[in-house]
Structure 1
Amino acid sequence: MISPLPLAAIPPNCEARREQVTAFVREAMRTVPPEIRARSWMGFDPAFSHQLAERGWVGMTLPKAYGGGGESHFARFVVVEELLAAGAPVSAHWIADRQSGPLIAKYGTETQKRFYLPKICNAQAFFCIGMSEPNSGSDLASVGSRAQRRGDGWVLSGRKIWTTNAPHCHYIIALVRTSGSAADRHAGLSQFIVDLSSPGVTVRPIHDLAGDAHFSEIFFDDVLLSDDALVGTEGQGWDQVTAELAFERSGPERIYSSIVLLETWLNYLRGAASREANCIALLGRFTAHLAVLREMSISVTHKLCMGESPVVEAALVKDLGTEFEQSIPTLLADALAAFPDAAEDAALTRTLVYAQQIAPSWSLRGGTREILRGMIARGLGLR
């Protein structure tokens, strides 16, 4: 049963970091146009990630013993919020920092922790997610990729899809079957760290409507893995990936995907008082939704700080957040169309076009709306 989301606030010591982060990121993004900043956590820039790592802003929640900051999830929340609000390109280190690193810290062997975590904290190891597969939709339990024992290691065969930034990443953590069949559902699934430069690994980019190639399909053709590629306990991959998804769905990125577009529109309104007056209701709607979603996200972060795994609560925030994110380009397009004779703002138009093209994917990444609502219904005892 889902528990109530507690009212929570960012602790003052974490909030105090915001000014420093804001000053840095505003200067770093000062000359970057909004249509580029709108890509934010899809923007791949290793040099920028290295700058963040030098300031201790990558791997903030990972243990100090492995190069991390040993800080709370609230400290990371403040940094991430400011990066996203400015449209900073965080994609290079994003997945490793958000979920792969914490997964290894929680379930990995000592050898894995000492090898991977310092590299993640230094922005020297980039990870992608190996959950979804062709023909499986969002049904992760039906994965067909399989790792079989051979000697003192494993042989991996199969495919993964929607592996964001795979052509640029060093590793993937893949959820695969190690025993039984798809009919066994959650039983028999395990997770492996796979070096993407290994023989037998092929990465094929998939181009989206915006002309980018973030998504990829990965082929594993008899890839040899050592025994220490296994993360956690064999056969416990479902429990592990469920905990990982709580990290993936709980952050502020699930409500800020359209924030640069919204900011660009506000700047446009400031230069046209008549249009601003006609958009007050819409502006109020966006403000109210964003304020509530932010408070919910902070409450989920509080649960993470308490050592909980708020799987259902994170799914709720992700579902509502995606609905909000997708509504912004749609409603702004209607608002702009209400003034057909107004002078066009080229930067706003380019940013809006990008958001309209990419927005459909927002309700796919991190779990489809249908899957999330099924989880929420179970959490409420409705199914």
Structure 2
Amino acid sequence: MTGLRFDLRDPPPGAAALRAEVRAFIAEHEHRWTPEVRARSWMGFDRDFTRAVGARGWIGMCWPKQYGGAERSFLERIIVLEEMLAAGAPVGAHWIGDRQSGPLILRLGTEAQRQKFLPKIVSGDYAFCIGLSEPDSGSDLASLRTRADKVDGGWKLNGRKIWTTFGHLCDWMIALVRTSPPPEGGSKHQGLSQVLVDLKAPGVTIRPIRDLVGEEGFNEITFDEVMLPEDALIGQEGAGWAQATSELAFERSGPDRYLSSHPLLETGIEALRSDAAAAPALGREVARLWTLRSMSTAIAGMLQDGDDPVRQAALVKDLGNDFEQALPGAMRALRDVEEMPEAMRRMHDYLTQINPTFSLRGGTREIMRGIIARELGLR
């Protein structure tokens, strides 16, 4: 049975100076952010802000300089992410490209792919989304039906993806598709590959999905005889399942899994600072936050060391979802909604509407616990 460790990491050299630099940068921009924008956090999409972040060298921070990166550590990157999320900065235009698409291209892409895509992600000129779920393939993702068939000159793509975050706003998608049928008697996880899709290509139709909050952050994307070039394949043909699940460790372990609701906690602490009766409950929330932060920082250290912390990432996502979903209720228990300061109330109202989705995006709670059990040899 494999263990489940989270070794604490010391702050990197220059951490305090970097944190101060990021806070000063945020102070130049945050006057434009409404309480709803701050509560939206990494789901806020602002290309101008992303380009400003890129100009400071804070996108692709850990990547080689030859691709536009800054060759800084994973732990330095965590500092920037923490400050952005804590402030509720609208980082959505670069979030997925910086968090997982860029690292995937860096690790498995060809040199031509690295040269083409990574500098554009760093500058904020290319926004990426991920094509995983389909109308009939959600948690059972390996049953997906979108196909990329080899043809003269490349691949012909047909099928549908759904719940694609930012699909209507992005330039490129990395899609998990079937490139060959699973072998007779073999696993359905075989025969899957990852491909790069230009979302402006002929045959791509994007339909935003309006949710119960009235927003259109998710999309259904249809591919009808979309022609992809030969070099659209990322990594090894048929190895898409292993590539995609490894990529999700970057998605599930980051501070966005426990800081998406942070602006509400911050405004709640400020509003209740003089209320001695609220102190124990606020202290418990801060303690939970600090524990999750320590776990996420430990995972950043593992990634920096070249490890593959799949089970640790799943645990952080599961616990982080619990924390974030419970936070609006915890604030209501301390202050009636009608008595909350306006900014706190508006954040509370927005998060109360959207936080049920937190345990769905990036994998359901049941999927996370199944991963943890399997990785620990319990199933």
In which range does the TM-score fall when normalised by the shorter chain? over 0.9
1:215 counterpart residue number: 218
Task: Give distance in 2, aligned partners of 1:136 and 1:9.
Answer: 41
Please give the alpha-carbon distance, in whole angstroms, between the structure 1 residues aligned to 2:339 and 2:150: 65
Instruction: Report if the CA contact (8 A) 1:34-1:264 is conserved.
Output: no
Is 1:319 the counterpart of 2:322? The answer is no
Question: How far apart are the structure 2 equivalents of 1:180 and 1:223?
Answer: 20
Q: Name 1:329's counterpart in structure 2.
A: 328
Instruction: Indicate conservation of the 8 Å contact 1:2/1:313, yes or no.
Output: no
Which residue, out of 332, 345, 350, partners 2:346?
350
Cα distance in 2, alignment partners of residues 250 and 343 from structure 1: 35
Cα separation, partners in 2 of 1:229 and 1:31, compared to 1, 3 Å: closer
Q: How does 1:39-58 map to 2 (within 5 A)?
A: 39-58=40-59
The question of whether the paired residues in 2 share the 8 Å contact of 1:258 and 1:355 is answered with yes
1:150–1:84 CA distance, 2 compared to 1 (3 A): same
5 Å matches for 1:179-328? 179-181=180-182, 184-270=187-273, 273=274, 276-328=275-327
The TM-score, its normalising length taken from structure 2, stands at 0.96
Task: State which of 356, 360, 364 in structure 2 corresponds to 1:368.
Answer: 364
Higher mean displacement: 179-188 or 281-290: 179-188
Query: For residue 97 of structure 2, what is the aligned residue in structure 1?
Result: 96
Aligned to 1:95, the other structure's residue is in SS state helix
* CA distance in 2 between partners of 1:76 and 1:196 (Å): 29
Q: Deviations over 1:45-77 (max 9, x none)?
A: 000001011110111112111111122111110
Q: What is the letter of the counterpart of residue 371 of structure 1?
A: I
Offset of 1:30 from its aligned partner? 3.2
The answer on whether the counterparts of 1:9 and 1:298 sit within 8 Å (CA) in structure 2 is no
Partner Cα distance (1:304, 1:213) in 2: 33
Where 1:93 maps in the other structure, the secondary structure is: helix
SS of match in other structure, 1:284: helix
SS at match of 1:174: strand
The reply to whether residue 382 of structure 1 matches residue 378 of structure 2 is yes
**In the TM superposition, what is the alpha-carbon distance from 1:24 to its structure 2 partner?**
1.1
The aligned amino acid for 2:335 is L
Q: Please give the secondary structure, in 2, of the residue aligned with 1:5.
A: coil
Equivalent pair of 1:147/1:157 in contact (CA under 8 Å): yes
Measure the CA separation in 1 of the matches of 2:377 and 2:369: 12
**Matched letter for residue 260 of structure 2:** S
Q: CA deviation at 1:350?
A: 1.4
Residue 262 of structure 1 aligns with an amino acid whose one-letter code is L
SS of alignment partner, residue 255 of structure 1 = helix
- CA-to-aligned-CA distance 1:318-358 (integer Å, 9 cap, x gap): 11111101110122223323xx8x74422222111100001
Structure 1: runs of 5+ lacking an equivalent: none
After the TM superposition, list the runs of 4 or more consecutive aligned residues in structure 1 that deviate by more than 4 angstroms: none
Please provide the CA RMSD for this pair: 1.5
Counterpart residue type for residue 322 of structure 1: N
In 2, the alpha carbon distance for the partners of 1:139 and 1:200 equals 26
Name whichever of 8-17 and 165-174 sits farther off: 8-17
What SS is found at the alignment partner of 2:129?
Answer: strand
The AA in structure 2 aligned to 1:365 is: R
Code of the residue aligned with 1:194 in structure 2: it is V
Measured in 2, the distance between the counterparts of 1:301 and 1:54 equals: 23
Q: Percent identity?
A: 53
Range 174-183 or range 189-198, more displaced:
174-183
Contact 1:15 1:78 in 2 (8 A): no
Q: Deviation at 1:14?
A: 4.0
Identify if the C-alpha distance between structure 1 residues 133 and 15 changes in structure 2 by more than 3 Å, giving closer, same or farther.
Answer: farther
User: What's the CA shift string for 1:106-139, capped at 9, x where partnerless?
Assistant: 0001110110011011110000011111122222
Equivalent position of 2:148 in the other structure: 147
Q: Which residue of 2 aligns with 1:76?
A: 77
Contact 2:182/2:189 (8 A) holds in 1: no
2:4 and 2:64 map into 1 onto residues whose CA distance is 28
State the 1:151 CA deviation. 1.3
In the superposition, relative to structure 1, how do residues 15 and 236 fare at CA in structure 2: closer, same or farther (>3 Å)? farther
The 1:325–1:190 alpha-carbon spacing in structure 2 relative to 1, beyond 3 Å, is same
3-state SS of 2:14 partner:
helix
Unaligned runs of 5+ in 2: none
Distance 1:15 1:189 in 2: 44
C-alpha contact 1:145 1:158 (8 A) present in aligned 2 = yes
Q: 1:199: how far off?
A: 0.7
Map 1:96-135 to 2 at 5 A: 96-135=97-136
Distance 1:367 1:229 in 2: 26
Number of the residue aligned with 2:169: 168
Residue 36 (structure 1) aligns with = 37
Q: Measured at CA, do residues 251 and 29 of structure 1 come closer, stay the same or move farther in structure 2, by a change above 3 Å? A: same
